[in-house]
Structure 1
Amino acid sequence: MKVLAFDVKSSVAHFRRPDTTATQLTYPFIPPTAAKGLVGAILGIEDFTTNDKVGIELRSNVRLVSQQLSLLHNGGSSFNRPTTIQLLVEPAYRIYYAGEQFFNELEIALKEKQFVYTTYLGSAFAITTPVYAGTWEMSEVLDTGKTYRVRSIIPVTAIKELIPKDGHYYQRASGFMKRYEGNRTFSQSIDFIFEQSGKKLLVKPKLNQEEYQLVEIEGDLVCLV
């Protein structure tokens, strides 16, 4: 199957967790739904929904800071309210994209650097410019007995065994929405395992093609959701 990739980075990012109110916390990396939202912005499709899949590779350390900002109150232009927002510092990601609905359109847009809407990482103050990284013919992983290096974030349910390595700091990130159904509605949740600095995981995977796809690139595993 064909998989393309593009890189995005910014000085800051904020992917707000919907279960936070007074203090606006962020997910530790770009959610799959936000990565697909980037594709919608590139193609100029509002309320973008798709069955195509994405994989997310961390290409920077996950660094978080909290910053108090003065935000405009909904009640009028004369009142500002201080709000504490958690920010990701200097995030960088490689987004893998596969599927039949928008693959060709996206590949052309990335190669020609023609983006319809402004692209950003979760908030309007986190502008980013996608950079085409390449297109590969990848083989789907069917061997669950083999140990793989994983270059993307990977769902908890996709791991049969995680082999720990010295100097690696593993974390679990929970409560991500998996599918965007349109009209600001989401379905299904998904939890991920990742390494704090973006180092590759070493795992024996489990297969579940209905929930995710595992593909191999240059000897490494990429998980598409």
Structure 2
Amino acid sequence: MKVIIFDIWGEFGHFKKFYTTSSPLTFSVPPPTAVFGMLGAILGFGKDEYLNYINADNTKIGIQILNPIKKIRMSINLIDTKNSGSFHLIKNRTQIKTEFLKNPAYRIYVHHYDEKIFNKLIDHIKNKKTHYTVSLGLANLIANFEFQGVYEAAALESATEVITTIPEEYVESIEISEGKKYFKEKMPINMKPDRKPTAYKNIIMETQGKTLNGKFKNCYWVNNQTIALI
């Protein structure tokens, strides 16, 4: 099968963890559900429809960390616009401490089973065409992206090194090496069109962008490197 590869980056990112409320925390990498939204913005699917065309049933996603994960906290002001009638009459403001990713950059690997959608995605990413603004989570966190290529992905029976994040269930054993930082996060991997998550996975990563070593299954050989697709 073929995989399109592109890089995406920005000054800040925020992918809200589903279990945080008053002080929002962010995932270290965009969950597959967030990548579905990015692809929908590129292809021109509206926010109420893109999950009908891009979801875990027809799309495989791989995520490689390019910049070491850095998180900072900033206070943002939320204003009440519902009952004010006019902007200058707004009086209610709430300051919320929010966690952001600083200078996030990722390499995204995508395969879509629908050839028509997949070819359209290749054309749009290659020529930097989008219908909606692509962001890193929140609408005001604008992202840039760059096409890297389209490659054949060959399934592997087993692997000893991967350059992407990987679901915990694909890991048979892992080697802990000095100088590497390991992290595990529970992420949503699929959603219904009403935006209710339907599946979660524990995702393992090396937060500095270094390789994971050990014994892994369900991996692919792409462009002379081993990746995991979710």
Runs of 4+ in 1 over 6 A off after TM superposition: none
Report the number of matched residues: 215
Q: Per-residue CA shift, 1:108-135, capped at 9, x if unaligned? A: 1112221110000001221012211111
Q: Which residue, out of 173, 198, 206, partners 2:217?
A: 206
C-alpha RMSD over aligned residues = 1.4
Tell me by how many angstroms 1:194 deviates: 0.7
Structure-1 separation of matches of 2:42 and 2:142: 13
Q: Per-residue CA shift, 1:163-192, capped at 9, x if unaligned? A: 122211111112x11112212122111111
SS in 2 for 1:123: coil
Q: Which residue, out of 144, 154, 168, partners 2:166?
A: 154
Q: Which residue, out of 92, 108, 111, partners 1:98?
A: 111
Tell me by how many angstroms 1:71 deviates: 1.1
Q: 2:91: which partner in 1?
A: 78
Do structure 1's residue 222 and structure 2's residue 227 form an aligned pair? yes
- TM-score, normalization by structure 1: 0.91
SS in 1 for 2:50: coil
Structure-1 separation of matches of 2:110 and 2:207: 23
Tell me by how many angstroms 1:75 deviates: 4.4
Structure-2 separation of matches of 1:68 and 1:155: 33
Structure-1 separation of matches of 2:152 and 2:17: 35
Do structure 1's residue 181 and structure 2's residue 170 form an aligned pair? no
Tell me by how many angstroms 1:74 deviates: 5.3
Q: Per-residue CA shift, 1:54-104, capped at 9, x if unaligned? A: 111110111111111111135443311100100000000111001222211
Q: Which residue, out of 192, 202, 220, partners 1:191?
A: 202
Structure-2 separation of matches of 1:73 and 1:94: 37
- Give structure 1 stretches of 5+ with no counterpart: 208-213
Identity of aligned residues (%): 28
Do structure 1's residue 170 and structure 2's residue 198 form an aligned pair? no
- TM-score, normalization by structure 2: 0.89
Q: 1:210: which partner in 2?
A: none
Do structure 1's residue 61 and structure 2's residue 68 form an aligned pair? yes
SS in 1 for 2:6: strand
Structure-2 separation of matches of 1:203 and 1:125: 39
2:204 maps to a residue whose letter is: I
Structure-1 separation of matches of 2:196 and 2:108: 23
Structure-1 separation of matches of 2:215 and 2:81: 50
Moved more, 156-165 or 69-78: 69-78
